Amino acid sequence: QMQLVESGGGVVQPGRSLRLSCAASGFTFSNFAMHWVRQAPGKGLEWVAVRSYDGSKAFYADSVKGRFTVSRDNFENTVYLQMNSLRAEDTAVYYCAREDDVTDAFDIWGQGTMVTVSS
Amino acid sequence: QSALTQPASVSESPGQSITISCTGTSSDVGAYDFVSWFQQHPGKAPQLIIYDVNDRPSGVSNRFSGSKSGNTASLTISGLQAEDGADYYCTSYTTSSTWVFGGGTKLTVL
């Protein structure tokens, strides 16, 4: 079945870096834009970034612009989120989500991976 | 990129109906019909329940419906059931080619 599985979360000190991965299966990965969405503990959802289906375009939330980079490998069916200069306020569960190519809706989500930024 | 505005909480009795509003601007909700709604139960990933303002994915109950007027979108849940108790989030595409979520609404079915 169609599935997204995130990995790479953990505890990291402020100012350090972390790379998250999201492995896709059960669908033609290269046909879909992929997003990252995060949720701080007890808070709401926050859109983070998107990489277009062919990897040619990326867009970011102002809160992460210049620090985070979203990339993808359409041969490995994986999207990545490189997070640099991490701050305490980046602490959250990070979800990857597929953007349906017809409706532009986030129709498939992973289970999330927790990132904690703390000294 | 300010978050869309949703009521923090709403509560109603089983069998009744509720409507959750999602207010944005002419740069997001008012600009496109790319408004979606998600349901999230504690500890779970969000689930898409409405897309493109008023369409339902396959398998989602027709008790869920959406609408939009100007810069405000709305989610209506009719015939409330206990399992509808969850957090609900709206999201919209923006004129900056980004996406923005609402702050979320906690629905309590009394």
- The conformation of residue B79, written as its DSSP 8-state character, comes to S
Any B CB within 8 A of A52 CB: no
Residue-wise pLDDT tens digits, B57-105: 999 999 999 999 999 999 999 999 999 999 999 999 999 999 999 999 9
- Cα A97 to Cα B78: distance, rounded to the nearest angstrom: 28
Distance from C-alpha of A34 to C-alpha of A44, rounded to nearest angstrom:
20
Q: Which residue in chain A is spatially nearest to B100 when comparing CA positions?
A: A47
Please name which of B71, B40, B34, B39 lies closest in space to residue B54, comparing C-alpha atoms: B34
Instruction: Single out the residue of B61, B46, B96, B86 nearest to residue A46, CA to CA.
Output: B46
d(CA A23, CA A6): 6
**Look-up: residue for tokens 């599935």?**
A3
- Predicted confidence band at A29 (pLDDT cuts at 50, 70, 90)? very high
Q: Is the pLDDT of residue A103 over 90?
A: no
B64 vs chain A: nearest CA distance in angstroms?
16
The residue in chain A having the minimum alpha-carbon distance to the alpha carbon of residue B38 is: A106
What tokens were used for A52?
């277009």
Q: What are the pLDDT digits (tens) for A37-46?
A: 999 999 999 9
Find, among A99, A98, A87, A118, the residue nearest to A24 by Cα.
A98
The reply to whether A55 touches chain B by the CB within 8 Å rule is no
- Helix (H) or strand (E) holding B31, with range, is none
Contact criterion met (CB < 8 Å) for B51 and A107? yes
* Chain A residues touching B103 at Cβ < 8 A: 44
**Partners of A106 in beta bridges:** A99
A65: its two tokens = 């612009």
pLDDT band at A88 (very low <50, low <70, confident <90, very high): very high
Q: For an interface test with A, which of B48, B95, B105 has the most A Cβ atoms less than 10 Å from its Cβ?
A: B48
